A and B are shown apart, each in its own frame.
Chain A
Amino acid sequence: MRTPHPESPPPLRTRRHRVLPGFGLTLGTTLLFLSLIVLLPLSAAFIRTAGLTWDEFWAQVTSPRVLASYRLTFGAALAAAAANAFFGVIVAWVLVRYEFPGRKIVDALVDLPFALPTAVAGIALTALYAPTGWIGRALDPLGVKVAYTPLGIWVALTFIGLPFIVRTVQPVLEELEPELEEAAATLGATRLQTLARVVLPALLPATCTGFTLALARGIGEYGSVVFISGNMPLRTEITPLLIVTKLEQYDYAGATALAVVMLVVSFTLLFGVQVLQRWFFSPERHGR
């Protein structure tokens, strides 16, 4: 960065950085792509829905079948994100703090749900948890049915959500200063007290962020769920599937109204993540 001459007035920020060329070209390209690929199509959903009266819209998005799908989708996504918050923090802890054979492989494997196409995850989990599958066969005598029940949806969403928690908690854990833990130990805390009072609170912001990301992903998830859920209306039908069903029946108004509800929920969660991150990582909180 150039230092301005002492006598000259401080240069305008925007002016100084425009020394580099290509601002107009790259901003234009970015906005063009963004508008054509993302914003215009998304606005189509809202504009289409604006053609409905409020009563029509309300009837579409609160019919019993739709309400059942909300309960299932949000319930399963919440339960899966909660399970991931618990197990994901432990996995991150083990990966960062312990040495064990195969650690690097486990670390790389955590990305599997990101890399594996959702349809493949869906059929693999269904094959495992169906009453004839490796795991389903063991659970069946116990009276536990996983495939084609809400429990199966939870399994799929837990698979999908795992990396979100691990990959947000891991870097925070790597940068956690050991001095804090040492101080706690010096002051007489047992290891468990240190973990509960010093380490876990420090991981809370990242865990909350990861939880919200996993939740948002779980609510919209389709590919891994449709195979294992069985897709019975009112029982195991998630909201994204209901959108597809309505679309296949040429019920465009119904599908679009549901999509708008889901978009509003997703955007709220996305906004929530931004607020969370800004709050947790604001300079005031770190005393800088």
Chain B
Amino acid sequence: MSATASTLVHVAAPHRRRTLADPPWLKRILLTIALGFVGLFLVIPLAAVFVEALRGGLRLYGAALTEPDALSAVWLTLLAAGIAVPCNVIFGLAAAWTIAKFDFRGKSVLTTLIDLPFAVSPVIAGLVYVLMFGAQGWMGEWLADRDLRIIFATPGIVLATIFVTFPLVARELIPLMQAQGRDEELAALTLGAGGWKTFWRVTLPNAKWGLFYGVVLCNARAMGEFGAVSVVSGHIRGETNTIPLHVEILYNEYQTQAAFAVASLLTLLALLTMLLKSIIEWRHRRALLAAAHAETRTFAS
């Protein structure tokens, strides 16, 4: 839940030269345990995906990816993420502006409520939408009368995706914008800029790396979500299957190689996400240092 939140704002203390070192034997034991654990639980599963995917050769790998059901799963995944991510960007910016720039009663309650979807099992996230829009749900009859489908159709998949990714953009932006304070916005307003202009010219550029970071995480989760989407999708081949659901179907039909081939697409996306995250963290650290330098220069002159 809060594990990823503080990583961006947090600036590591410069590495101090240790005057105290662990004895070499202890160092060796701890390194072995840590690297062994990481190797067993992270590296080997990661390698297994690609080994299994390429087991039947490149031609079968390509065939699994270009088969019509796979392509329609890719299309649906892109569509769902393409709607869910912008929705969460709008929500995240609004929530961060409210929480970071204003003081009001109930602010901590609001912050907690935004985190709520992280505490909810993905299966339950799907279930609650079935209770709302399913055939037996609150709006089931009303929707059926108008021939509208949400559950077992694309809108349900999009809604479930928005739910599970809901806090991701907001919780990257809130601590960042809180740390930046409101002085720059106040200065812009004093100089005559309007609210929107202040937002576009001051707030957004300041928060752009945090926003990008949130979008990257949000997109990865949106494209990879399984539990919630599985409950609302109905698993109609070529129609309501996203990439993760397509992987499940292939795997359950013992088309192991094809399942891993499609899964390797998602794994590449995960690796790309981790790479971008590392780059942004590195850049952001530099940007913060640069800002600190600029400040000292301003005060010195």
Contact = CB atoms under 8 A, between A and B. Distances in A.
Contacts of B225: 117
Contacts of B138: 44
A2 B183 CA distance: 9
Contacts of B274: 108-109, 111-112, 115
A233 interface: no
Interface residues of B, number: 110
Nearest to B123: A240
Nearest to A174: B12
Contacts of A178: 16, 18-20
Contacts of B41: 155, 158-159, 162
A37 B10 CA distance: 30
Contacts of A240: 121-124, 227
Interface residues of A, number: 109
Interface in B83-127: 87, 90-91, 93-95, 97-98, 101-104, 110, 112-124, 127
Interface in A97-132: 97-98, 100, 104, 106, 108-121, 123-125, 127-128
B154 to A, nearest CB: 16
Given A119-B244, A247-B130, A109 B22 contact: no
B301 interface: no
A81 interface: no
B48 interface: yes
A236 interface: no
Contacts of A23: 98, 101-102, 104
Contacts of B98: 23, 26-27, 30
B119 A269 contact: yes
A112 B123 contact: no
A220 B121 CA distance: 4
B22 A97 contact: yes
Which of A114, A168, A210 has the most C-beta atoms of chain B within 10 angstroms of its own C-beta? A114
A213 B1 contact: yes
A175 B13 CA distance: 6
Interface in B260-277: 260, 263, 266-267, 270-271, 273-275, 277
Interface string A148-167: 00000001001100111001
B52 A127 contact: yes
Contacts of A117: 223-226, 243-244, 263, 266, 270
Interface of B: 1-4, 6-7, 10, 12-13, 16, 18-20, 22-23, 26-27, 30-31, 33-35, 37-38, 41-46, 48-49, 52, 87, 90-91, 93-95, 97-98, 101-104, 110, 112-124, 127-132, 136-138, 159, 162-163, 166, 181-183, 185-186, 189, 194-195, 198-199, 217, 220, 223-227, 230-231, 243-245, 247-248, 251, 256, 259-260, 263, 266-267, 270-271, 273-275, 277-278
10 contacts: A21-B198, A41-B128, A91-B38, A94-B30, A115-B273, A117-B266, A247-B130, A256-B127, A262-B124, A277-B2
4 smallest A-B Cβ distances: which pairs?
A117-B224, A220-B121, A21-B195, A223-B226
